Amino acid sequence: MNLSHRMSSHIPSHRKGLIYISFTAFLWSTSGFFIKYLTIDAFQISFYRSLVAAITVLAITLARKGKMKIEFDGVSNLAAVFYAGILILFVLATKMTTAANAIFLQFTAPIYLVVLEPIFLKTKFSPKNIITIFISIAGMILFFFGKLELGNIYGNLLAICSGICFAMFSLLLKYKRVKQKSENTLGTVVMGNALVAVLAFAVIFPNLGLNLTEALILLYMGAVQIGISYIIFNEGIKYVSATESMIIATLEAVFNPVWVFIGIGEAPSVYSIIGGSIIFGAIIWRNVSGKEKSLIIE
């Protein structure tokens, strides 16, 4: 521990932040493969993954002698609900459509933020936002082209809803930071994962059995892919700008379908690749051009 601390102390803060966020995106990107690989249903995955994640974040925070403040005000409660929505809807979407569609459409969150932030945080709505929205909508439409079964369509719609939840979660955390001067995000993550566990438990009970392979995978997904990764992300955003964190986080959407293709041979359609490229291009252009701040929380 002392060795790793000494090594990290020699790394410039900005570079350290880039490494943290990049590693987080890599860990997040593994979710698609494991969700596809597991034969248990989405609510079973959600229950165990979120239960382990909540315990992991709480335990690590307390072990590091950090403060875990669970806030039950209206904004915090809504943020936890939307975070829970991100988790459940993404797992459901990944089970119903391709992993590429699920992750690409979840990453439409900044599209909704360009509309929501001016309304709720009274920021300026620029013409650049309108261009971004129309380009991104064109990209989203491509996901519904080609031959799609009904389940794929529902999966795509759930992925879009997951993106909306992602946008609302980001907006509410930014509202807490700007309006309430609150930096508490770990408490909200614990609340959101606990909510997922409770809701999923009510759906799957008494079907709680797992084999050893399933248990180990879900332990990894909860402890590492969600729990530890969010703690790393929470550290990384202290050293990089919101724009940089958003751009680096898109690595998740790039690697997610790659792992799924390597692992189970599921390939995204040409329309999905084109649509995802259009959406990412619009979002990156929106956040790197000009002097405006990124819409993703800082």
* Per-residue model confidence as pLDDT tens digits over 142-172: 877 765 566 688 898 999 999 999 889 888 8
Of the candidates 42, 55, 57, the residue with the CA atom closest to the CA atom of residue 87: 42
Cis peptide before 206 (omega within 30 of 0): yes
Cα dihedral sign, 88-89-94-95: positive
- How many folded domains does the chain comprise? 1
Mean of per-residue pLDDT scores for the chain: 83
Structure confidence at residue 160 (pLDDT): 92
Residue 21 pLDDT > 50: yes
Domain that includes residue 205, residue range: 14-288
Task: Judge whether 2 lies within some domain.
Answer: no
Structure confidence at residue 8 (pLDDT): 54
Structure confidence at residue 225 (pLDDT): 95
Q: Would you give the distance in Å from CA 46 to the centre of its chain?
A: 14
Cα dihedral sign, 71-73-74-75: negative
Q: What is the pLDDT of residues 261-276, one digit of tens each?
A: 999 998 888 888 888 8
Structure confidence at residue 298 (pLDDT): 33
Task: Judge whether 8 lies within some domain.
Answer: no
Task: Judge whether 245 lies within some domain.
Answer: yes
Residue 2 pLDDT > 50: no
Of the candidates 56, 54, 46, the residue with the CA atom closest to the CA atom of residue 191: 54
Task: Judge whether 165 lies within some domain.
Answer: yes
Task: Judge whether 27 lies within some domain.
Answer: yes
Task: Judge whether 7 lies within some domain.
Answer: no
